[in-house]
Amino acid sequence: MKQLYINGAWLDGASSSANINPSNTNDIIDHYAVADAQQTELAIAAAAAAAPGWALSNIQMRADALDKIGSEILARREELGILLSREEGKTKPEGIGEVVRAGNIFKFFAAECLRLRGDKIPSVRPNLDVEVTREPVGVVGIIAPWNFPIAIPSWKIAPALAYGNCVVMKPAELVPGSTWALTEIISRAGLPPGVFNLVMGHGAVVGAALLNDRRVNAISFTGSVATGKKVAMAAMGRLAKVQIEMGGKNPLVILDDADLATAVYCAVQGSYFSTGQRCTASSRLIVGKNIYPRFVEAVKQELAKLAVGDALAAGTDIGPVVDANQLEQDMNYIRIGKDEGATLAYGGERLDGPSPGFYLRPALLTDASNDMRISREEIFGPVASVIPADSYEHALFLANDTEFGLSSGIVTTSLKHATHFKRHAQAGMVMVNVPTAGVDYHVPFGGSKASSYGSREQGTYAAEFFTTVKTAYCGV
């Protein structure tokens, strides 16, 4: 049984849950403690008690702790990558890649501890100095989704600690294992008790307790739009700082002048790898009408080469869907697409694997339009629709015609169109001749419109959320 981590001690939960491998539902990874509201409150109290001391802690000590955490994550990339793939279902290379990203994030923020800077500004009044400094926010509640079980917790925890905040971390119910392993590493990094706490459990219990407790000064959330809205309302209701990353319906525009091989690579990689379970996955392929038949044919040929199977098996390209509910959602949207008049040009059927798992052949729906539900609602699986476009202007219009705005891509050999697209795509991230998914760890991450709310995550921009600005006047 893997326990909760509260105030520097390992504690049993109020109950426990089994962490099940989506590649093989007979494989139970372990049992993980599930906290109740009182235990969450204990963790919040511990973080609140530790906050004043940690806020003033030595920055070299913080840097050393984060660096140590990053080094151990990187040294154990294989083992942690396997655990991640086993609980979430992305392939082993993808799991290891995510672990490396997490390690690099801790290393990045270890160095950021030493780079906090402020401003000294001349006053407009005589005999006065003005200083602007960044200070910790206090206690940060972190609520994470299941699809990046170590990278997303890391990109929230590392800046929170670096900038002097205490953390109460709640991973997603489906994937407690990677965050638990991360916590075990953090527990040996020399942080004072209460600075970092792990409470596994249900959103409606642990999440709600974090949202409603006045001692939690800021909430950093990643997940669905439906939950994100609730989180925003609750946090704003008590004037807590809030940062919310939500879903996407990311377009990939393929212009008639695109290099076909690049277009197919971007579409297949961006739409289907990590089983399409990435918030930045391309789910709308908006394709010029001249290249359309060649593009669809080439994508189908490429999809036929992909091996769908056990996430840990050598040679698997696409692992299973994360659980039975998500599989049902994916298959339901494929049915909806067909009912709406789209053509299921490839895949979409449930597959029997070597073991009982949630295997789905990647689905390509062609002849779609942008007003179908499959083009408007986030599916979050290995399902993409192809929407024809008459011109660049039409393609840009379709790309922007969505409530979301996370990542927006274009494949073109035209500098003019690439430049225009970078400027006019309504998204937080724009990709030219690369897949919509796949980002660097040291630059800002986030979206516009309904995809994000609040300030950006990652890179130096993370300071905006995890610090608060103080302006001090001093008579001289």
Positions marked catalytic: 245, 279
What's the closest the beta carbon of residue 28 comes to ligand NAD, in angstroms?
Answer: 20
- Any residues with CB less than 8 A from the CB of 83 and at least 6 apart, and which? 29, 95, 177, 178, 181
What residues contact residue 468 under an 8 Å CB cut-off, 6+ apart? 134, 135, 136, 137, 241
Q: Please choose, out of 58-66, 121-129, 181-189, 240-248, the segment that lies near ligand NAD by the rule CB under 6 A.
A: 240-248
Is 378 a binding residue for ligand NAD by CB under 6 A? The answer is yes
> Within a 10 A sphere around the Cβ of 386, how many other Cβ atoms?
23
Reported as type and span, the H/E element at residue 86 is helix 77-88
Stretch that binds ligand NAD, among 18-26, 52-60, 140-148, 249-257 (CB under 6 A): 140-148
* Chain center to CA of 443: 14
Of 42, 99, 105, 143, the one binding ligand NAD (CB under 6 A) is 143
The reply to whether 455 sits near ligand NAD by the rule CB under 6 A is: no
State the number of binding residues for ligand NAD (CB under 6 A): 29
**24 or 222: CB nearest ligand NAD:** 222
Closer residue to ligand NAD in complex, CB, 224/433: 224
For residues 330 and 321, the answer to whether their CB atoms sit within 8 Å is: yes
Cα separation of 295 and 334, whole Å?
21
Backbone phi, psi, residue 389, to 5°: -130, 145
Sequential DSSP letters for 169-207 = EE--TT-HHHHHHHHHHHTTTTPPTTSEEE----IIIII
- The verdict on 309 binding ligand NAD (CB under 6 A) reads no
Residues 329 to 358 in contact with ligand NAD, rule: CB under 6 A = none
**Is position 421 an interface residue for ligand NAD (rule: CB under 6 A)?**
no
Q: Which of 247, 320, 347, 454 binds ligand NAD (CB under 6 A)?
A: 247
Query: What one-character DSSP code corresponds to residue 308?
Result: B
| Residues numbered 178-237 forming contacts with ligand NAD, rule: CB under 6 A | 203-204, 207-208, 211, 222-224, 227, 230-231
Contacts of 382 (CB under 8 A, 6+ apart): 271, 272, 275, 276, 318, 321, 330, 347, 360, 361, 362, 363
250 counts as binding ligand NAD under rule CB under 6 A: no
Q: Pick between residue 223 and residue 362 the one whose CB is nearest to ligand NAD.
A: 223
- Contact between 242 and ligand NAD per CB under 6 A: no
**Residues binding ligand NAD (CB under 6 A):** 143-148, 170, 172-173, 203-204, 207-208, 211, 222-224, 227, 230-231, 245-248, 279, 378, 380, 406, 451
